[in-house]
Amino acid sequence: MKALIKKLVEAWGPSGFEHHVRTLIEDEIKDLCDEMRVDSMGNLICRVGEKTDDNLRIMIAAHMDEIGLMVSHVDRQGYLRFTNIGGLFPANLSGNRVKFENGVVGVIGMENPWSRPKEIPGLDGFFIDVSDATEDDQNRNADIKVGDPAAFWRAFEERGNRLVAKSMDDRIGCAVAIETMRRLKDSGAKHEIYFVFTVQEEVGLRGARPAAYGLEPDFGIALDVTGTGDTPKGMKMSIDLGKGAAIKLRDNGLIVPPAVKDLMIDTAEKYDIPYQLEILSGGSTDAAGIQSARAGVPSGCISIPCRYVHTVSETVDITDVEACVSLLEKILSNPIENIRPN
């Protein structure tokens, strides 16, 4: 599974430009599903199993996109100015590297860093340096133009059980979905399951909403990362790295229905899968988009604990990842009853 994770997290794919990631996933799952198609938004939709009178249509969503940036202006000196694609933290920008689709790697610099070391500017105080010391220095950005997107760049690193990369959010959710599909290929699915690898989650759940509208699922589960409360002066939340899958109870866009929460907790306890309960005070996931589709869909989220979210060093623990796979596989391979409100 680690080889798959490395392949996914090192792929290039900011929001709205997920095609490289989608191609990788298509190759991984082409023999694991009964039907595969790409919708008009760019979501990759993969069906496993068939709908009957006795089972459910379930939508599993993991987003393919990552945060990034887009060139908004080239200044007189040839430096690239940019705007955000998704949630960028200015404190994490200076000195980081970005990669454009054509392979050009740039370094993010900050204006006047030594004269105001304690001041962090807005995005307009940063620039991207793509100089290459050619004779015609004015053409150093000739391959990059206004409107070109870039993603952050760092190689995947493994440190014992800890996996570090620039886009665990949410390629690790995609890896959980793919590994679950592999297991269901052997164990069999009890439901009609649509694994949807969504686009543009980081800019407003734009892929999950129309996908859920079209599929009309009976039940939805998002797979995404969540923060942890186990770093110095970090967030006040009861999630630790290495202590199991995080079962979401609430975030800024979703209050998980009691029946969905109970299903996940009961399944984890029945099969001795380590789990934690998650309440996230900032952000949301594709589950919020699924929940509000059409007349409403009971929805929840299985979260992978992750330190340093929205940085180039997002860190997960492989034992948590495996717990998330086990939990999802057991939910999908068993009958599900009473998921709708009484």
Active-site residue set: 201
Per the CB < 8 A criterion, the answer to whether 330 and 273 are in contact is: yes
Give the DSSP per-residue string, 197-211: EES-GGGTSTTHHHH
Q: Residue 213: helix, strand or coil by DSSP?
A: helix
SS3 (DSSP) at 297: coil
Tokens read off for 66: 């990552």
Alpha-carbon distance 76 to 31, whole Å? 52
Residues 6+ apart with CB under 8 A from 26: 36, 44
Question: What type of residue is 273?
Answer: I
Amino acid present at 124: D
User: Is there a cis peptide before residue 170, judged by omega within 30 degrees of 0?
Assistant: yes
Reported as type and span, the H/E element at residue 275 is strand 275-279
Quick check: 227 and 309 in contact, CB under 8 A?
yes
**CA separation (Å) from 16 to 42, 80, 172, 226, 248?**
9, 20, 19, 22, 27
Sign (positive/negative) of CA torsion 14, 5, 305, 298? positive
Q: Are 200 and 210 in contact (CB under 8 A)?
A: no
> Among candidates 286, 319, 318, which has minimal Cα distance to 302?
286
